[in-house]
């Protein structure tokens, strides 16, 4: 009889411990660096409500944290970029109400065309190379994964790695892929200069700078073709 009570008590303690562990884990569903299904659920609601662009990949990175902060500010919650119980409950409630963000989205950056250089245009007409981009783009075409950023994003500073201000017309690059100081053309954005770098910017990834946090969120993450117009040296 004593042995039965012992095993019953042990089983109850094990269940209680599992419940407490699950409850503690459920306290924070998404914060910077977290991965998993809970993050994916938070991202899905943020996307549905217009706070996040792209796909729910289950990785709580800079864009997801910024979207959480934006939602918290709109709902009058503590703005810490962490989706805990209160933020999650507000997301669920807002999802049921289907209420869009209180702030209007800024207009999309207008597409611009880079006027051709007279000398380059004549040279292009003579060579007729099929590898060179046609029309106003004179340069080497490269395929990149681009993400918008600004000086006002969480964790960002006001200056680039080159010491210049973070602003529209600047990109962060992997110098082994696009050398610092290179001039590029980005369709739908315009000309930019490679003045910044980042720990997560590796290979054909770039960050495209904007003047405001909202513009960076609007740009989100895109896969596109850009043109390297000029490199230093």
> Is 3 contained in some domain?
no
Tokens coding 106: 């800024």
Q: Mark whether 225 and 140 lie in a shared domain.
A: yes
* CB 169 within 8 Å of CB 190: yes
Report the alpha-carbon distance of residue 182 to residue 23 in Å, rounded: 51
Domain that includes residue 76, residue range: 11-97
Q: What is the pLDDT of residue 117?
A: 44
The tally of domains found in the chain comes to 2
Residues 19, 64 within the same domain: yes
Q: State whether 138 and 208 are in the same domain.
A: yes
Instruction: Decide if 124 is inside a domain.
Output: no
Question: Residue 17: inside a domain, yes or no?
Answer: yes
pLDDT digits (tens, 9 = 90+) for 40-49: 888 898 898 8
At residue 62, the pLDDT reads 87
Domain identity same for 147 and 217: yes
Q: What is the CATH number of the domain that holds 76?
A: 1.10.101.10
Q: Give, in degrees to the nearest 5, the angle at Cα 33 between 156 and 64.
A: 65
In a domain, 52, yes or no: yes
pLDDT for position 95: 77
- Residue 43: name the closest of 65, 25, 28, 26 by CA: 65
Residue 1 in domain? no
Q: Are 88 and 158 in the same domain? A: no
**What is the full per-residue pLDDT of the chain (233 aa) written as tens digits?**
566 666 676 666 666 555 444 444 446 888 888 888 888 888 898 898 889 988 889 898 888 999 999 999 998 999 999 998 889 888 888 877 655 555 545 455 454 444 454 443 334 333 333 344 444 456 899 999 999 999 999 888 899 999 999 999 999 999 999 999 999 999 999 999 999 998 889 999 999 999 999 999 999 999 999 999 999 97
Instruction: Output the pLDDT for position 17.
Output: 53
Could you tell me the pTM of the whole model? 0.44
Q: Please identify, among 97, 124, 146, the residue that sits at the C-terminal boundary of a domain.
A: 97
Burial 187-208 (b: 16+ CB within 10 A, else e): eebbebbbbbebeebeebbbbb
57 in any annotated domain: yes
**223 lies in the same domain as 145:** yes
Would 111 be classed as within a structural domain? no
Q: What is the CATH number of the domain that holds 160?
A: 2.40.40.10
């Amino acid at each position: 009889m004593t042995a039965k009570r012992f095993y019953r008590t042990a089983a109850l303690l094990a269940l209680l411990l599992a419940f407490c562990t699950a409850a503690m884990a459920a306290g924070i569903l998404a914060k910077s660096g977290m991965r998993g299904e809970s993050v994916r659920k938070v991202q899905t609601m943020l996307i549905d409500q217009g706070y996040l662009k792209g796909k729910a990949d289950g990785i709580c990175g800079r864009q997801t944290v910024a979207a959480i902060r934006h939602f918290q500010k709109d709902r009058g919650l503590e703005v810490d970029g962490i989706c805990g119980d209160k933020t999650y409950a507000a997301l669920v409630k807002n999802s049921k109400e289907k209420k869009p963000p209180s702030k209007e989205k800024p207009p999309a950056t207008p597409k611009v065309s880079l006027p051709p250089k007279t000398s380059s245009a004549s040279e292009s007409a003579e060579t007729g190379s099929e590898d060179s981009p046609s029309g106003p783009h004179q340069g080497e075409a490269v395929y990149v994964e681009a993400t918008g950023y600004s000086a006002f994003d969480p964790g960002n500073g006001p200056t680039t790695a080159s010491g210049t201000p973070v602003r529209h017309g600047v990109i962060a690059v992997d110098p082994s892929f696009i050398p610092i100081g290179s001039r590029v053309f980005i369709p739908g954005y315009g000309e930019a200069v490679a003045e910044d770098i980042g720990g997560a910017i590796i290979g054909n990834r770039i960050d495209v700078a904007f003047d405001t946090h909202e513009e960076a969120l609007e740009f989100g993450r895109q896969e596109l073709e850009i043109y390297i117009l000029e490199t230093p040296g």
